[in-house]
Structure 1
Amino acid sequence: MKLNYSIGTDKEVQCIHETSLKILSEVGVSFRCEAAFDIFRKHGARTEASDGKL
Structure 2
Amino acid sequence: MAKKKKAQMLFKLVSSAATGFQYIGEKNIKHAARKMMLRKFDPIVNRYVLFTEAKLKK
Same fold (TM over 0.5): no
- TM, length-normalised to structure 1: 0.26
- TM, length-normalised to structure 2: 0.25
Q: Which has the higher contact order (CA 8 A, sep 6+)?
A: 2
Q: Which is strand-richer, 1 or 2?
A: 2
Larger Rg: 1
